[in-house]
A and B are shown apart, each in its own frame.
Chain A
């Protein structure tokens, strides 16, 4: 008994605290399971961290802003320190945002950090998603996590949009009006939806308060939940890794979470915060004082949404203003069609993993990443989608393309209309060719070695370039990927000579599979036999 108490006294304070916590939270087993968790090293694996950290920064700065922001549309007269707006009528939301920008200590910097971090957050999510896409990290078992990530992107876009609308300035008011127009274009229920959303005719006196609760509570709450689920799944699935010697589908080669990644990730958080703070300190974002308060009778040129909504702006700007008038009702196709394409653009990339897994029929788990060139069809699809997205962004900023490149806005609009259909196809074909070219080069490298740049003259006068053979590590890395065979439909008749019934789905799948893995879609990788034959010393190569 006495020895026991003596032992307890000797235990250092930290250990006692840890013991106390373990007895209640079970942290020892948690730590044991996770402290030595291994993460592989690659810069592109840190893109998700950028998203996480900028999200945290947005929440922290957002909380500060809520202390001073008044989500109300009551009309007040501006009496703050910015002279060009003095005496103007504006909503309390705008007035309090002016107050944050000019009178609250650090208010403008925090506002700018919040807004810049939001732009960077969504950009980072898109880039992170593209990393996952092009390396095939979405394959089993990570399809659900891909969807979580996709939802985070979509929710991030809408959280951004509602936040952009809160100051009730002339720019964002135009954006809200735009959105209301899109809602109105929905057949039958459009007007009801709009009335419901705005509590009456636009703009009414409610939307800022409503957007406020959506912006600070509803959407970030859902995002927080999805984010936690996303991270839990990353831990549960373990991180993917690029192919390399000693790396298999059953292991992870890298460094432990503690201490290496704790230090790296912690440090990286501050670096991300630092970059955002520097950007926010040197560059203005959304200068609402220059933009002025919203009034439905006013509008300015150059009224665009933040970049992540730019593709929807592009859809609207390039869509011809068609409409159908029937029985006293108007169907505004010029707005309704873009509204329908908007989710399709996003869904196209979201459902891709499921299409690919259906085509390959591959039910195995994949933890080794693909190099984009080794999945030419997937890579080409991704680039085509990005091209599509970029073309729409050009459409959304057509006025600035026109003024900055001295072009006619009409020509740009027509270019976008045509490129909307043509550019993705071109991008697909070109990317695929580039991937196949790179595959050929890899094969050449494996079989013949690296071009050393050393020119040798042989005794009989011939000049040759000396090729250095690759080492084992490099050979492994370049040939580690596996190549699928196209799906075969099998014989048309069964063993009894009866025509087999093939469903349309099966036929389509066979066709797609041929497009993915047929002769024209991948270069057979170098085999060990080929390598041996060439390196066995018959002639120089």
Chain B
């Protein structure tokens, strides 16, 4: 120790200490970093990312840029997360057919495996919401009544009372929620696609999302009964008025013509 202590003011002492410290941190990192396991995971993950990148380059890059940075034709995808990709591509909205006020739902182009790869690639560009698991969006056991209240407070302004859809400004619209899968509804709320605001878990917790999904399923699902007969689109008084004029009054005028034509006429001589 004396030797060491004697040389503590040597001009190179600081350099030696620095080297030792660097060697220690490097050694510690090498010893404790979760290197092996991560490597094994990353091979599958990075494979998906690689495949996704290839799909992305062919199908998406012309609008969103070669690195997902966005262009004048499409927004940046950095940080949108896998959930956004799963929603947009999974409902056929992406790849878009043409620019316009809003991209409509259409036939799905990619299969689920490809969508997952695309999602993995886009998720690798920046952190964002992940694709929800079934446990998160499965509406079983949720509170339908509460969901209705939440729906009327947060969704009905644009999507109508039972999610039949409605108009927004300049040709934009809130689409109908009929046969949209629970997963996609969840993702839409999470990510706020296109003109929709997003409802992250901080403003609308997972449970409330489930309630809303359960409500939509109850009032606009496959098993929804319409106790009054034809729903007439569920659009309210405009379609009812049209029906009353055409089928109500129309039928009555037809009947009136019929009755007037069949009269006790005096026999013509």
Contacts and interface: CB of A to CB of B under 8 A. Distances in A.
Given A88-B148, A170-B152, A402-B167, A290 B162 contact: yes
A112 B145 CA distance: 25
B156 A299 contact: yes
Contacts of A287: 226-228, 231, 234
Contacts of B152: 170, 292, 295, 298, 300
| Majority-rule SS of A interface residues | helix
Nearest to B260: A43
Contacts of A119: 240-241, 244, 248
Contacts of A116: 244, 248
Contacts of B238: 302, 304, 307, 310, 396-397, 400
B110 interface: no
B174 interface: yes
B227 A102 contact: yes
A83 B160 CA distance: 19
Contact of B256 (A43, A310, A407): A43
A283 B149 contact: no
B218 A84 contact: yes
Interface in B59-84: none
Interface string A245-269: 0000000000100001000100110
A41 B256 CA distance: 11
B170 interface: yes
Contact of A275 (B143, B144, B245, B248): B248
A298 B251 CA distance: 38
A50 B171 contact: no
Contact of B168 (A50, A271, A398, A409): A409
Interface in A74-91: 78, 83-88
Interface string A497-531: 00000000000000000000000000000000000
A84 B170 contact: no
Contact of A286 (B147, B227, B240, B259): B240
B173 interface: yes
Contacts of A400: 167, 235, 238-239
A268 B230 CA distance: 26
A298 B215 contact: no
A272 B252 contact: yes
A76 B251 CA distance: 41
Nearest to A413: B169
Nearest to A118: B244
Contacts of B160: 300-302
A300 B156 contact: yes
Given A276-B248, A282-B229, A46 B256 contact: yes
Task: Identify which of A116, A264, A276, A279 gathers the most chain B CB atoms within 10 Å of its CB.
Answer: A279
A300 B248 contact: no
Interface in B31-88: none
Contacts of A409: 167-171
Contacts of B162: 290
Given A275-B252, A403-B165, A406-B171, A112 B228 contact: yes
A45 B143 CA distance: 56
Given A84-B218, A123-B249, A297-B153, A284 B230 contact: yes
Nearest to A301: B166
B253 interface: yes
Nearest to B241: A307
Contacts of B28: none
Interface residues of A, number: 76
Contact of B259 (A44, A112, A271, A279): A271
A124 interface: yes
A410 B101 CA distance: 12
Interface residues of B, number: 63
Nearest to A398: B167
A291 B248 CA distance: 24
A108 interface: yes
Contacts of B249: 50, 120, 123-124, 127
B137 to A, nearest CB: 19
A41 B231 CA distance: 38
A14 B237 CA distance: 51
Contact of A282 (B144, B230, B244): B230
A273 to B, nearest CB: 11
A281 B161 contact: no
Contact of A264 (B232, B245, B263): B263
Given A300-B160, A301-B167, A307-B245, A46 B259 contact: yes
B16 interface: no
B264 interface: yes
A308 B242 CA distance: 11
Interface in A122-169: 123-124, 127
B88 to A, nearest CB: 21
Contacts of A303: 236
Nearest to A102: B227
Interface string A28-69: 000000000000011111110110000000000000000000
Nearest to B143: A87
A49 B236 CA distance: 28
B226 A291 contact: no
Contacts of A85: 145, 148
A83 B237 contact: no
Contacts of A120: 244, 248-249, 252
Contacts of B236: 171, 302-304
Nearest to A268: B259
Contacts of A310: 237-238, 241
B114 interface: no
Contacts of B242: 307
Contacts of A45: 260
B10 to A, nearest CB: 77
B178 to A, nearest CB: 13
20 contacts: A88-B145, A88-B149, A124-B249, A127-B253, A170-B156, A264-B263, A268-B259, A283-B228, A283-B243, A287-B226, A298-B153, A301-B156, A301-B157, A301-B166, A303-B236, A304-B236, A307-B240, A399-B166, A403-B167, A407-B171
The 6 closest A-B pairs by CB, nearest first: A307-B241, A284-B228, A301-B166, A119-B244, A43-B260, A300-B156
Interface of B: 101, 143-149, 152-153, 156-162, 164-171, 173-174, 215, 218-219, 226-232, 234-245, 247-249, 251-253, 255-257, 259-261, 263-264
Given A50-B256, A264-B259, A290-B234, 6 more contacts: A83-B218, A298-B152, A300-B161, A303-B236, A304-B237, A396-B238
